[in-house]
Amino acid sequence: MATMKYAGISVEVDDEGYMTDHSQWSEDIAQAIAAEEGIKLTDDHWQVINILHDQMNTKEQLPTIRSLKKLGVETKRLYELFPGGPVKKASRVAGYLKPASCV
């Protein structure tokens, strides 16, 4: 397991750069991870991140693209916000491990 430094804080990450301890996550860390992904977070990004947090707190699992659509986030918009793998990238920015459903 590796350690990365985001926003001046050392966090444990797996081999793919996903945080292994969500309790270390903060909005500043999210901003730094997003920047590493080439993403500048907007209110729309935060809406998706907050949905991920809500789903983890209530269902203890990350939503799929299909369930995000049911929660009001259109698939096309997800790809615009988090290009190249919206659930993977959103999960990484939100401080979670890569979803099992993502390859």
Low-confidence ranges of the chain (pLDDT < 70): 101-103
> How confident is the model over 28-38, as pLDDT tens digits?
999 999 999 99
> How confident is the model over 1-12, as pLDDT tens digits?
799 999 999 999
Active site residues: 102
Please give the pLDDT value at position 9: 95
Cβ contacts of 97 within 8 Å, gap of 6 or more: 14, 18, 19, 20, 91
Please give the pLDDT value at position 45: 97
Enumerate domains of the chain plus CATH numbers: 2-93 (3.30.1420.10)
